[in-house]
Amino acid sequence: MRFLRKPTFAESLTLIAVIAILAAIVFVPDSATATRWRLERRARDWKPEPIPVLSDSTLIAADEVITGEWIQRGRLYHTSFSFAERGDGKYDVSFSTGGCLGGCELSRTAAVNDGLITLNSAVAEYVPNTYFSLYMIRVRGSDYLLPATSVVDFEREIAAGTDHWQRYVLRRPD
């Protein structure tokens, strides 16, 4: 009795396709996981440069309390920080960023010195911006956080007199 027969060419191709699909499901990450890995890798591999100085030092809000949440929303992305005071002069920081393909959450600590917030390790936003320091600034009576890597673009927009500078800052939620 012979129960096994040689598979046809079509059956062999079907079997190979099913195995390939199952391998892809098991070994290829979904877009959210791949995005999280990419953001975490960008933050980990980022090499700091000298912190740019704000040319208008009157914008620095050195007296502002940073505890609480700060957010930035774009059309297809968001970034947020949540600061909680620890008691030793430092802050626990929850950082979250994401967009249409996924996102990530990172935990950091921060120190504040004369309106400059310095994180213990870099963070990477969903939009390509990676940094480890932010300025506390006050513009038109409202307080904002400005990533140090955005200082040049922010100052260019302020000088132009438009409201486009708001795309570079994080604000407290309404």
pLDDT band at 64 (very low <50, low <70, confident <90, very high): confident
Residue 50: CB partners within 8 Å, gap ≥ 6? Answer: none
Cα(108)–Cα(97) distance, integer angstroms: 14
pLDDT digit string (tens) for 144-161? 999 999 999 999 999 999
Tokens 């007296």 label which residue? Answer: 63
**pLDDT value at position 1?**
54
Is residue 136 within 8 Å of residue 143, measured between CB atoms? yes
Q: Where are the domains of the chain?
A: 45-168
pLDDT digit string (tens) for 74-117? 888 999 999 999 988 899 999 999 999 889 999 999 999 999 99
**pLDDT value at position 54?**
92
pLDDT band at 2 (very low <50, low <70, confident <90, very high): low
Question: What is this structure's pTM?
Answer: 0.83
Is residue 132 within 8 Å of residue 121, measured between CB atoms? yes
Q: For the domain 45-168, what is the CATH code? A: 2.40.128
